Amino acid sequence: MTKRTALYLRVSTDSQTVENQRHELLLVAQRAGWEIVEELADEGISGAKGREQRPAFDRLMKMVARREIDLIACWSVDRLGRSLQHLVSFLTEINARGVDLYLHRQAIDTSTPSGRAMFQMLAVFAEFERCMISERVRASLARSTKKLGRPALPPIVVQKIERSLAAGNSINKTAKALNVGVGSVHRVKVRMSAQPVM
């Protein structure tokens, strides 16, 4: 079956051209018998930019979503994006839509068993990277001595709040008299009412 193919081309600066990428990919497509349905090029745009800042890439993903293509052909993996996480997210999305990927420089074709194996390896490494980041965040939080949340009121202040409330003063009056937050006084009152009467 002839594969409906979109070429995705990208260069980072205005002084570069996508012509070499186009030429190489057209030769591969001709040999493989692919039908080129669209050539999409982001010229002078960094691969670190998001989808919304790369109009051709955005159009490519819309074609994927509408199932207008069977294969994306790209000159190199770094033309698609700069981070492994971004790449795996992209691969997962196109894979879910049944679209294959051909990367010329890396000789990866996900329509072949070896290409799919390489894709799965990339997914494993991306998952490992996410786990390592998560582990570093947890370790950093564990090392942190700063407690989250508000500091507890000193016991002497809590006793004054309890005496004021026991004397029949309102929460607002107690808070104002002792220069503490209304919420703090309210929490003390709730705790007092929860205590069993002796």
Domains of the chain: which residue ranges? 4-126, 155-194
pLDDT at 52: 79
Residue 51 backbone phi and psi in degrees, to 5: -55, -40
Annotation says 12 is catalytic: yes
Residue 87 and residue 122 in contact, taking contact as beta carbons nearer than 8 Å: yes
pLDDT at 138: 81
Of 12, 46, 76, 111, catalytic: 12
Burial level of 118, CB count in 10 A (0-12/13-18/19+)? middle
Q: What would the mean pLDDT of 92-114 be, rounded to a whole number?
A: 88
Residue % of the chain over a pLDDT of 90: 44
> What are the distances in angstroms from CA 187 to CA 154, 180, 183?
14, 12, 6
With CA atoms as reference, report the closest residue to 75 among 150, 19, 37: 19
Residue % of the chain over a pLDDT of 70: 87
Judge: domain 4-126, CATH 3.40.50.2300.
no
User: 100-103 and 108-109 as β-strands: parallel, antiparallel, unpaired?
Assistant: antiparallel
Q: What would the mean pLDDT of 137-149 be, rounded to a whole number?
A: 70
